[in-house]
Structure 1
Amino acid sequence: MSGADRERLFLENAAIAAAGTHSVSDTGELLAALRRVVAIDSPVYCPGVTELEKAAAALFPVRAADYAAATVTVEEVFGAVAETGTIVCVSAGGRAVQAGLLPAHHVAIVRRDRIFGTLDDLFAAVAGDPPTNLTLVTGPSRTADIELTLAIGVHGPEKLDIIVV
């Protein structure tokens, strides 16, 4: 499967899982997409570890020092899985995987070259030096364990936007 096919399949499957999906070609377009999906007055947690996160962090006048105080997390994630529309968050490099799970809105930045075709491809990529924690997220949090009624955002963010760069 080509890189373009992986991206197309990933975006289709992520949208089916109720994630907002966006594809951009460069940092300028990334910043424009972030302006569209994040309310300017929202307290935003952005770790500012990667170059894309550093560029994104400058957009937000209200920065939360910790994800627990944020309503939005904007972060570059480890990768994605095309066959399921899943984003992959890892604890490597001092990252807190719960940063994308606690705030009500998670904006995940995924590099195009980090979209794996299948779960097997993902696990093969991390087999040599697996992270301590690897979290797979497919769409916003949803549960039906409360009287079998579907509820969004109970065990994680109620809104998920994914931007492929």
Structure 2
Amino acid sequence: MRECRHGNTFKLIWGPPGTGKTKTVDVLLFSLLKLKGRTLTCVPTNTAVMEVAARLLRIVKESLESGMYGLGDIVLFGNNARMKVDGYEGLCDIFLDHRGRKLRKCLAPLSGWKHYLDSMVCFLEDPMEQYLSYKRDRNDNGDEEDIIL
């Protein structure tokens, strides 16, 4: 089905409780993830969403020997208050709202990556000027201790 070029398709997995639907969905999602397939998975309840996501995350973590994994290809989306994402170990790492908050902090003008990268570039381009600026700032703050290079 993955190699089929006839367009988008969707499949429905249905069955009574305890018949292995969640496990089947997770194995399929994991297989598609390894094949770089794009998938949107919808289930009827928040509990089911959380269970599918938690099991998929567990399969992904167990499959990688080094313990390092990239979760960029897995995104969990929904209402945090209703889904209670914090109640499931590790799911905040794939929850879209959590990623947005982390990214916002990383890109903040005075404390994010850009600020630190700009600061490092300035230091590497003119280390003596940066050192003198540092000394001036320390002296302005009343700290007279001299630093020797």
| TM-score normalised by L of structure 1 | 0.26
More helix by share: 2
Of structures 1 and 2, the one with the larger relative CO (CA 8 A, separation 6+) is: 1
More strand by share: 1
| TM-score normalised by L of structure 2 | 0.28
